[in-house]
Amino acid sequence: MILPRIFRAPEQTFFLLGPRGTGKSTWLRALFPQANWVNLLDGDVYQRLLTQPASLASEVRALPAGEWVVIDEVQRVPQLLNEVHRLIEESRRRFVLCGSSARKLRRAGVNLLAGRALLRAMHPFVPAELGDRFDLEDALRHGLLPVVWASTDRLETLRAYTQLYLKEEIQAEALVRNLPGFVRFLPIAALFHGQQINVTNIAREAGVARTTVHGYLEILEDTLLCFSLSAYEAKLRVRERKLPKLYWCDPGLVRAVKRSEGPLLPEERGVLFEGLVAQTLRAYRDYQGLFDEFFYWAPAAATETEVDFLLRRGSEFVAVEVKSGTTFTETWCKGLRAIDGLKGLRRRIVVMPVGPRRWTEDGIEVMSFGDFAGMLAAGDLGW
């Protein structure tokens, strides 16, 4: 059964990028059943177009006018984008350019078709897509990648996913010269999920150079498994931290890369829950433009004062603090009260796993993750 996604396809040529296993190809086949499909994972197709990329043009010109063309795993032959560019110019053909990595496209000097193609992303499931099937505990333990969620053995699928990533994304595409070093780096990077990126510490633990770690972090972002969250400089009469935070796109991947397969441990629950909220926010930003961008905020002098997520739309802000406890305490609001003087701040929200919705005396909203996810699905951030 194919679950409906909240992603909506543009009516013009677009790139669809996302980590492996997010269901891009499955979704495209359901949405464009009549499209001409170019699958670059097919060895024969790959070899032919690698050596003769111009043959794509003759094949597409022979298709009926108005028919969509889907090129799957387009990053494997970046030269094809030159042909796509020409076809769009001469005949207004429409393409879906699907891939799991932006790295080879950028390294090959590709300019994303000079603005003639929109850039879209597909993410792991969000709660609204699963409906009553969504279970927070299971999401934190196994994640929400469609390929894992649909499996009868989620742990085994997560193990296989990490091996497939190393084999097909890293080794086959020759993204790193030192594969053993990258393998050592991955579980260490997973330990930094939800933390400020400390390149020196990661390099020491992985036994590689700092410059190598910078390159490895770029690979994780380019292959769409991780993203960084910048610090916001609110200039509220305090010096603020500027190092970005690192987030993985899925809690199940974090645990798989760390080889943590048992029940959730108390010490990992908080950061996995925070990461799930981060990824849910990211999905709604990309799918529905719910806000322009988001950050975290923290004064440098107060190590325990922080706001996990600061959402910006135009000149307005919503501050979100994430706590994994089940009993609300006023100390959770310390960061939200510290940022109260930010100009344009519309709402301050605490998100916890479960619990009734309430308000503090100074107007901070406290709600469950279910209520928060429902609010995002309704597009109701109060702008």
Domains within the chain, CATH numbers bracketed: 14-121 (3.40.50.300), 131-274 (1.10.10), 276-377 (3.40.1350.10)
**Which tokens sit at 48?**
């032919």
Mean pLDDT of the 215-229 span: 92
Please indicate whether residue 115 or residue 7 has the higher confidence score (pLDDT). 7
The answer to whether the CB of 87 falls within 8 A of the CB of 55 is no
User: What would the mean pLDDT of 105-117 be, rounded to a whole number?
Assistant: 65
Cα separation of 97 and 119, whole Å?
9
Residue 53 predicted with pLDDT over 60:
yes
Residue 111 has pLDDT above 80, yes or no: no
**pLDDT reading at 86 higher than 70:** yes
> What residues are paired with 196 via a beta bridge?
245
Task: Provide the CB-side half-sphere exposure for 97 (13 A, CA).
Answer: 30
- pLDDT tens-digit map of 324-376: 999 999 999 999 999 999 999 999 999 999 999 999 999 999 999 999 999 99
Would the pTM of this model clear 0.95, i.e. be above it? no
Please identify which residue in the block is written with the tokens 């798989």: 256
**Taking the chain, what is the end-to-end CA distance rounded to the nearest angstrom?**
36
Edge to edge, what strands does the sheet with 226-229 contain?
A: 195-196, 245-248, 226-229
Nearest to 52 by CA among 63, 42, 44: 44
Is residue 250 classed as helix, strand or coil in its secondary structure? coil
- Cβ atoms of 145 and 224 within 8 Å: the answer is no
Model confidence pLDDT, tens digit, residues 246-301? 999 999 999 999 999 889 999 999 999 999 999 999 999 999 999 999 999 998 76
What pLDDT, on the 0 to 100 scale, is given for residue 376? 97
Confidence band, pLDDT 50/70/90 cuts, at residue 57: very high
Using 50, 70 and 90 to split pLDDT, how confident is the model at 101? confident
Q: What whole-number distance in Å separates Cα of residue 216 and Cα of residue 185?
A: 8
| Over residues 216-223, mean pLDDT | 90
Supply 340's token pair. 């109260």
The pLDDT of residue 114 is 66
Mean pLDDT calculated for residue range 22-38: 94
Cα gap 8→69, rounded to integer Å: 17
Give the span between the Cα atoms of 97 and 93, in whole angstroms.
12
Q: Tell me the mean pLDDT in the region 177-205.
A: 91
Q: What is the pLDDT of residue 173?
A: 59
Task: Provide the pLDDT for residue 108.
Answer: 55
Q: Which string of DSSP letters, residue by residue, matches 279-304? A: HHHHHHHHHH--SSEEEEE-BTT-TT
With a CB cutoff of 8 Å and minimum separation 6, the contacts of 177 are none
Portion of the chain with pLDDT greater than 70, in percent: 93
Report pLDDT for 2: 76
Could you give the CA distance from residue 253 to residue 264 in angstroms, rounded to a whole number? 14
Q: In this predicted model, what pLDDT tens digit does every residue of 150-170 receive, in sequence order?
A: 999 999 999 999 888 877 777
For residue 299 the two structure tokens come to 């004064």
